[in-house]
Amino acid sequence: MKLKCSSAATPRTSHLHHSPITLLLFHLCRSELRCKEFWQDWKEQLLVAASASLSKSPADKDAEDQPERITKTCQQLECVCYGLGPFASCVSARYQLAMLLLLLEAGQIPLKDCSVYDPVFSSGERDVLRDLGLTVLSENEEGKRLVEKPTFFYLMHCGKALYNNLLWKNWSARGLPLMIIIGNSFTGMRERTIEKEFKRDYSYISKAVDFSVERKLACPSHLIDVFNDTAVITFPSNSLNGLPQSTWAESPEPQYQHSPDLEIILKETRS
């Protein structure tokens, strides 16, 4: 898995943060992705996942106006994007932002209903995101967002701790089914991590990998560094309802004392 572009590793020259130039580069990326065959797979997988997660009854699935029903279903979603990276100076992050906007467009999710945050964003990047119509969060939530309505999380190449925190905050048979995640495969995380460390440090991912549903997303070879190891992840209610109550009985907040390479920027604590 390719690491995210970091502000330390990427030159962040002032001209790249000039909003018109950054917006132009973004629109070029979006136009390119729109013409790619794999984009259709991403769109269809999101729509299918949203429809499956939010359908009220089996009768909904038999409706003749299925495309319209799926679109209306997606319009119910909120969206949260964490860890996008410095898209003004990082090409990978720019493509990932372009894909996010295409997915919002496909689901007809209002841009204002998509909240974005990354502590590495410059003031210029925050301005660009606002110009695009997105909502820029001011606080580092560390992924600990309690979901109260159906929410689509866009977490491209984020650290395991962020996923783990998100699962912890919504660790219930009611909370998890409200989430649709597009991000790194939980199965891939397990395969790349020593089993003892995975269960100790990322216990919620370790448990969720057994009952979540992953739909692997297509990735062209020339964009392997941008979209590799990505899946749509959902948590079907019927799977969760069959789990023993002990699954939800103890859910302590994650602690990462044994994780030197945390891959997450923690919020600053005031002394």
CA–CA gap between residue 199 and residue 205 (Å, rounded):
8
Mean pLDDT, rounded, for 143-166: 97
Query: How high is the pLDDT of residue 258?
Result: 79
- The predicted-structure confidence for 35-82, as pLDDT tens digits, reads as follows 999 999 999 999 999 888 776 544 445 555 666 666 666 778 999 999
Q: Is the pLDDT of residue 26 over 60?
A: yes
User: Between 270 and 97, where is the model more confident?
Assistant: 97
> Which DSSP helix (H) or strand (E) runs through 213?
strand 213-216
Q: Is the pLDDT of residue 270 over 80?
A: no
37-248: CATH, from 3.30.1490, 3.40.50, 3.90.550, 3.30.9: 3.40.50
DSSP reduced 3-state for 256: coil
Mean pLDDT, rounded, for 140-161: 96
> Which DSSP helix (H) or strand (E) runs through 245?
none
DSSP reduced 3-state for 255: coil
Query: How high is the pLDDT of residue 14?
Result: 41
The 3 state secondary structure assigned to 18-39 is CHHHHHHHHHHHHHHHHCCHHH
User: Between 72 and 83, where is the model more confident?
Assistant: 83
- The predicted-structure confidence for 42-52, as pLDDT tens digits, reads as follows 999 999 998 88
Mean pLDDT, rounded, for 188-213: 96
Query: How high is the pLDDT of residue 58?
Result: 45
Instruction: Return the DSSP state at 86.
Output: -
Instruction: Return the domain boundaries, the chain.
Output: 37-248
CA–CA gap between residue 145 and residue 232 (Å, rounded):
19
> Which DSSP helix (H) or strand (E) runs through 135?
strand 135-136
CA–CA gap between residue 17 and residue 40 (Å, rounded):
31
Query: How high is the pLDDT of residue 56?
Result: 53
Residues counted in the chain = 271
Amino acid at 78: E
Phi, psi for 191 (deg, rounded to 5): -70, -30
Query: How high is the pLDDT of residue 53?
Result: 75
pLDDT band at 97 (very low <50, low <70, confident <90, very high): very high
pTM confidence score: 0.89
pLDDT band at 228 (very low <50, low <70, confident <90, very high): very high
Mean pLDDT, rounded, for 117-121: 96
Mean pLDDT, rounded, for 137-147: 97
| 78-92, 180-194, 246-260, range with the lowest pLDDT | 246-260
The HSE-up count of residue 215 (CA atoms within 13 Å, CB side) is 18
Q: Is the pLDDT of residue 130 over 70?
A: yes
Over the chain, what is the mean pLDDT? 87
pLDDT band at 259 (very low <50, low <70, confident <90, very high): confident
